[in-house]
Structure 1
Amino acid sequence: MIKSKLSERLTKIAGFVPRGHVVADIGTDHALLSIYLVLEGISSQVIASDLSTGPLSSARANVYLYKLEKSIEIRQGNGLESINPGEADVVIIAGMGGVKIIEILEGSHAVPDGVVRIILQPQGGAGMVRRWLFDHHWQIVDEELVLEHDNYYEIIVSEPSPGPKVNDIDKKLSRREMELLEIGPCLLEKKNTPSLIPFSSGEN
């Protein structure tokens, strides 16, 4: 079963994908997340993209194994360059460093038109990723901290913001605003916040 092969981190990410949307899984690796989204009925169409030939070969083999060639399209490309405007509603970028995620978001095509949600899981530098989102009019609507193999991973869920500022973050950051960026505004609001703070991206 695909669920038994999916890590806790990827399972949590899948839980943030709204049903009925076309998903772009950037840096898909072996396409396990893409396969899970289709098999669970979360998405009927997924674009699974990766730059490296090796992971893409594994992704194609896995998609073929589960007979999902009509539901999952494998593409080779650098970041979002493989996604055309209007092709995907939800973008997932997981398992990369914060700097790399920002490079992808600022790529030649930037975030494609029509995207209603971006789900990010930086391996480090979550604070800089949040700052990029704030500066580019994406509001953080949810966050999760996942413990996996003795490591904590932050998941950041964002949607387009109608205004130029989000959560009152501006260019000159106060101590409170720095906390919002490093810990995460949604993580701070959750009941178990005190136990989360030591493991935030502030250590990166």
Structure 2
Amino acid sequence: MHRKTIVDVGTDHGLLAIGLALTGKFQKVIGVDVSQQALENGALSLLSQIESRRKGIDPQKAALDVPVEFRHGDGLKALEEGEADIVCMAGMGVSTLLQILEQDHDALTSDLNRRQYTDLILQPTNSKPRNLMFLYKSLQDSGWELRNERIVKLSSRWYVTSHFTRPQSNIPVTALIEDGAMKIPGSTLDCTLSDSDPMRQDLEEYCRHHSQWIRKDSEYGRMDLLEEVWLERFGNDR
């Protein structure tokens, strides 16, 4: 199996990047953050503690045993072309996430293709259907394909993680909506989760909760097209 390089954008304390590195599934993990102070006080300090502890347990465990590197930089601009395969972003809003993906002021597809990324793993903080629909629309409108989703509820909030793969085509999202080919938030989960899967309960609760709020907002004329599409799919009593 080909071992890939993954970049954690907005790594901050470095927990995700270090956790990915310790799985042994990646050749290299690169954590990037725009704040040098965040790296020094968080990620780099934590990595130093982990390496010291591992060496204390086993002197043969050197720094190279944790294949992670932290860089100060502005999102994907901190990487060279072809340096990483997978982009991982979590802990930020949809608008910020898309700004980072489009930060070179090129078309979303062409820039990500030029840098040769194959996969996007995204977990925005704002998981309302309206926000996720906008994210899914933007990526699928640029040809990216949804491969997998996960959902978890923590402290009364839902977190949806989405896996998109390298663009294969550029079909406008309007056309995708019209022929039903556009995958919307929760659709992959709904089709693949068994009734006994713990995520099934989280998904059902998520759909009920947000369907109620979308309907309530619609009374004041605040429903947009993307919410209508989502509600048509998940709005029935579940």
TM-score (norm 1): 0.77
Tell me if structure 2 keeps the 8 A contact 1:95–1:123: yes
Instruction: Provide the residue aligned with 2:59 in structure 1.
Output: none
Which structure 1 segments of 5+ residues have no match?
Answer: 1-17
Corresponding position: 1:50 with 2:33: yes
Structure 1 position 174, deviation (Å): 5.2
Paired position in structure 2 for 1:170: 174
SS at match of 2:140: helix
Partner Cα distance (1:117, 1:54) in 2: 29
Q: Which amino acid aligns with 1:66?
A: I
Q: Which runs of 5+ in 2 are unaligned?
A: 52-61, 194-199, 215-226, 228-238
Shift in alpha-carbon separation, 1:41–1:199, aligned structure 2, 3 A: farther
Deviation at 1:23, TM superposition (A): 0.8
C-alpha separation in 2, matches of 1:200 and 1:84: 40
CA 1:200/1:35 → structure 2, altered by over 3 Å: closer, same or farther? farther
2:189 is matched with which residue: 161, 172, 187? 187
Could you tell me which residue of structure 2 aligns to residue 61 of structure 1?
A: 45
Give the match for residue 74 of structure 2. 78
Question: Superposition RMSD on alpha carbons, in Å?
Answer: 2.9
State the alpha-carbon separation in 1 of the partners of residues 20 and 145 from structure 2.
24
Larger radius of gyration: 2
Structure 2 residue aligned with 1:143, among 129, 149, 157?
149
Letter in structure 2 aligned against 1:158: F
Other-structure match for 2:230: none
| Bigger relative contact order (CA 8 A; separation at least 6) | 1
Alpha-carbon distance between aligned partners in 2 of 1:100 and 1:154, rounded to the nearest angstrom: 16
C-alpha contact 1:19 1:42 (8 A) present in aligned 2: no
Aligned pairs for 1:65-144 within 5 A: 65-67=49-51, 70=64, 71-108=67-104, 110-111=111-112, 113-124=115-126, 125-144=131-150
Structure 1 residues 61 and 130: CA distance shift in structure 2, 3 A? same
1:58-115 deviation digits (Å, cap 9, x = unpaired) = 1111122223754221111122111111100111011100000110111117435221
Larger fraction in helix: 2
Matching of residue 198 in structure 1 with residue 202 in structure 2: no
Taking only the aligned residue pairs, the percentage that are identical comes to: 26
Amino acid at match of 1:146: V
The corresponding residue for 1:153 is: 159
Change (3 A) 1:153 1:199: farther
Q: For each residue in 1:118-167, what CA deviation from the matched residue of structure 2 results, as whole angstroms up to 9, or x when unmatched? A: 1000111222111111011110000111112221011010001312238x
**TM-score when scaled to structure 2?**
0.67
